[in-house]
Structure 1
Amino acid sequence: MDLQTKLASEPFSDTEKAVVEFFIQHFDSVVDMTTLEVAKRTFTSNASVVRVCQKLGYKGFNDFKLKYLTEQKKDSQQVGKPDANFPIQSGDDVRTMAANIATLKEAAIAETKSLLDYGQLAKVIDLLEKAETINVYCTHSTIAHAKEFQYHCMRINKRVIVASGPGEQDYYASRSSEENLAILLSYTGETRETIGDARLCRYGGTKTISITSFGQNSLSEVCDYNFFIPPWEKYYSKIGQFASSAGFSYILDLFYSGIFEKDYLANYEYMLEHTARLGMVQINRKMADF
């Protein structure tokens, strides 16, 4: 787990959150600052700064900075992780852009993998395989990942319903039962409609699975199982969702792969049979055009 992910993972008071936010926003300059300078910049106290560092498992601010230096050295040895919010800059040539986006996505997947609970993953795959219907609740920013998961599952005759609009989400959530399984996608974990749908699903006896950014949030608190992606992106000031997109896709790909593996030969044969049928339909359509 990288240091920025760890910063987002611990419970802090409102005063301590100011220090944490400063650490995250000024990651590059913190190493050259003193405890007093951080306290002044955050309108807190030396004790608050030290307390944050201790909650993160360090002896104090100097020990925290030492960890930061270690992390920076590790990053530089790995060519460095681009800024998740601005992985490209004005004037970048195509080679630089290609390298930065690839490096960022690789880093995001590696970090998502490090946050996995394999015991929980195996249990959730069992539930997914046995569920009569899987409902995916998402917003416009995550619908592409949900649709891709739905398409994969469709090819092995697994029923997946994607609900993306508030009315549509509420409709399915209010009718959800023990025969359903719900996957809820929200980067912030604070999407009001998604949290409400999670509660509705649980009320109907449906097991709920969240995919959200790492740390404390409302969605993970109300779901039965939680899978996390790196909290590297700012909500507004970013040029794209490159890191979170990689995280969402990776976890949903794991879910699909797990379902497929449960009955590998039968799923493969079904996929081949229906791919062949689709091919015949396309051939017949082309012939009809002549």
Structure 2
Amino acid sequence: MEYRIINILQTRELKVNFTKSEESILDFIEKKFNEIPKYSVIKLCEEAYASQASVNRVCKKLGFKGFSELKYWIEHDIKKMESSKSSNINNTFFYIENINFGGIPNIVEILKNNRKILIYGLGASEITALYFQRQLLYLGFQAIVVNEEKMIEQFEDFILFILSSSGETLRVKHVANSFKDKGKVVISITKFQSSVHEISTSAFTHNISIDKLDAISREQQLHMIIMINELINKLQNG
């Protein structure tokens, strides 16, 4: 299912650069998304503390001729989101569309050759780590969930599998670096081009900009569960 505007606002995965003032306009449009079709450009400028020239630049950078066309496509997105089917599965489609499934084959190959796995996740990801551990145990892997670096140091012949939605948590980055510096394999499910992604030997990534989500959304693990399930399915059937 294709959305012209909402996914762009939520992920901010764009090829063009925006100034801070233009980012503020995007933030305002995202916050008032359902109300924007009723706005005039003058009202938007007043409430977003922006100039009309800045609004026009934002519209053009998003690929539209002007504010009227932007409003048209926002209304188009809203109608899709409000349909009975879309309202129930919109979040799932959003996550699926922002997962890079091409990273799976290499990880599957590594796991098949390394069946002793330490799983590391903090916060909400620790709960997901327990789910991942159960799935791996069903497949006959020796999988252990750890949440402290001293625990990790006790396992010499294990690989490390990190679950980190943002890929920027300091403790997670430290653990990943320490493990890799010893010449060991680090795999991750994490944010594309995050620090953990860069550290990892191999990674299964998503494109969701965690910093653009509210506090509750940042804690949600639906995309991580989808990624784990896909990985387990490939391990089981591959």
Please state if 1:119 is matched with 2:122: no
Displacement of 1:119 in angstroms is 2.5
CA separation in 1, counterparts of 2:156 and 2:58? 43
Please state if 1:210 is matched with 2:189: yes
Residue 125 of structure 2 corresponds to which residue in structure 1?
Answer: 142
Residue 12 of structure 2 corresponds to which residue in structure 1?
Answer: 9
Please state if 1:225 is matched with 2:203: yes
Contact 1:175/1:204 (8 A) holds in 2: no
C-alpha change, 1:225 and 1:156, in structure 2 (3 Å) is closer
Instruction: After superposition, give the CA deviation of every residue in 1:146-169 in whole Å (9 maximum; x if it has no partner).
Output: 1011011112221223233xxx14
Contact 1:134/1:183 (8 A) holds in 2: no
- The count of corresponding residues between Structure 1 and Structure 2 is 228
C-alpha change, 1:234 and 1:123, in structure 2 (3 Å) is same
CA separation in 2, counterparts of 1:61 and 1:27? 13
Displacement of 1:190 in angstroms is 3.8
- The code of the aligned residue for 1:62 comes to S
TM-score under structure 1 length normalisation: 0.64
Instruction: After superposition, give the CA deviation of every residue in 1:18-44 in whole Å (9 maximum; x if it has no partner).
Output: 122212211111222233433333333
Residue of structure 2 aligned with 1:40, choices 46, 50, 72:
46
Residue of structure 1 aligned with 2:161, choices 176, 182, 204:
182
- The code of the aligned residue for 1:193 comes to R
TM-score under structure 2 length normalisation: 0.76
Root mean square deviation, CA, Å? 3.3
Displacement of 1:170 in angstroms is 6.6
CA separation in 2, counterparts of 1:170 and 1:16? 45
Contact 2:188/2:196 (8 A) holds in 1: no
- The code of the aligned residue for 2:101 comes to Y
Residue 159 of structure 1 corresponds to which residue in structure 2?
Answer: 142
Larger Rg: 1
Residue 230 of structure 2 corresponds to which residue in structure 1?
Answer: 254
Residue 235 of structure 1 corresponds to which residue in structure 2?
Answer: 215
The percent of aligned pairs where both chains have the same amino acid is 19
Displacement of 1:258 in angstroms is 1.3
For structure 2, which runs of at least 5 residues remain unmatched after alignment?
none
Instruction: After superposition, give the CA deviation of every residue in 1:59-83 in whole Å (9 maximum; x if it has no partner).
Output: 33322222211111222334453xx
- The code of the aligned residue for 2:7 comes to T
- The code of the aligned residue for 2:90 comes to A
For structure 1, which runs of at least 5 residues remain unmatched after alignment?
82-102, 263-290
C-alpha change, 1:216 and 1:124, in structure 2 (3 Å) is closer
